[in-house]
Amino acid sequence: MEKIILNKLPVPTFGWLKVNSAERDAAAFGTGEEREVLLADGSRAELSGGRSVFEVTAAENEKTSAVIYISGSEGKDLTTNVKAAAGAEVKLVQVYENSGPAIGSVNADIAENAAFELVQLYIGGKDTVSGIYADLAGRNSCFKADIGYLLDGDEKLDINLVASHAGKKSQSEISVKGVMRGSSEKTFRGTIDFLNGSSGAKGAENEEVLLLDETVRNKTVPLILCAEEDVEGSHGASIGRIDEAQIFYMQSRGIPVDKIYELTARSRIAQVVSKISDKDTADRVNAILTGGEEDG
């Protein structure tokens, strides 16, 4: 089988850590003729298999938003290209609710005074490989990402996010929240790259991971690269389990342990779901997370 190398770190680290890239069999993912889709403001697109390229474009001082919902058991390969012209605002929501393998990439060009907001939610997935590249080329350009994931069983997720700061006073803010169960595996690489000439730029990233089983495999790789002196960059990660005091308190209120874990996991992901402004999509996601039950 043909092997493909995905999600390469901009600067490799120790090889034995096995986080420099992701290697996959090409045939396992989307095949066939590539489909190109132009997404207008307010568009909602569905993808259940095959190969697709989505285009999201906002002209100068224009606002646009789009939703892409990825589902189904077939292999899929999708690319989303985002172009935000000067003063434009773009919001993209992507929900991966797929049981089959998927390769996804988001490539964003962000011009002067433009803003790009990305909301991504991964609900399971046999093997999902996702790459995100934000080119903050314009002065005062802005990139904000809110990413959530819920993994169980033997599900796998590999994310590589790069915020490339070229523009002066450009800003990036990356927030990742996840819950892992069973023997699931996840790798998150988050890179903030301050290029020469990006004076006054600011970048921050943070990941919070809740581990519900000892058999999960979590890898978090925060990285800050700096070729400019007058910049501000920060990164952090919080990885742990439910606090014993919290469990005791909820049990004292008559809540069984399995329900405590379920409510805690749902609460973590709900913080990302709240960023989905499209009501139909948010309702669809909440129905999956709650199993159709109302919160009591």
Residue 294 scores a pLDDT above 60:
no
Which pLDDT value is given to residue 51?
92
Please, which pLDDT band fits residue 88 given cuts at 50, 70 and 90?
very high
Closest CA to 178 of 158, 201, 199, 203: 158
The answer to whether the CB of 179 falls within 8 A of the CB of 268 is yes
Amino acid at 2: E
Tens of pLDDT, residues 225-235: 999 999 999 99
Count of other CB atoms within 10 angstroms of residue 126: 16
Which distant-in-sequence residues (6+ apart) come within 8 Å of 76 by Cβ?
29, 30, 47, 48, 49, 50, 51, 52, 70, 98, 100, 101, 102, 103
Closest CA to 120 of 98, 136, 87: 98
Range of 100's domain?
Answer: 3-243
Is 12 inside a domain boundary?
yes
Is 261 inside a domain boundary?
no
Tens of pLDDT, residues 28-40: 887 778 899 999 9
Residues 289-296: contacts with CB under 8 Å, at least 24 apart? 289/123, 289/150, 290/266
Residue 296 scores a pLDDT above 50:
no
Residue 219 scores a pLDDT above 60:
yes
Is 291 inside a domain boundary?
no
Which distant-in-sequence residues (6+ apart) come within 8 Å of 32 by Cβ?
50, 51
Cα(229)–Cα(220) distance, rounded to whole angstroms? 26
Domain total for the chain? 1
Residue 41 scores a pLDDT above 50:
yes
Is 167 inside a domain boundary?
yes
Is 181 inside a domain boundary?
yes
Predicted structure pTM score = 0.93
Is 278 inside a domain boundary?
no
Is 248 inside a domain boundary?
no
Is 213 inside a domain boundary?
yes
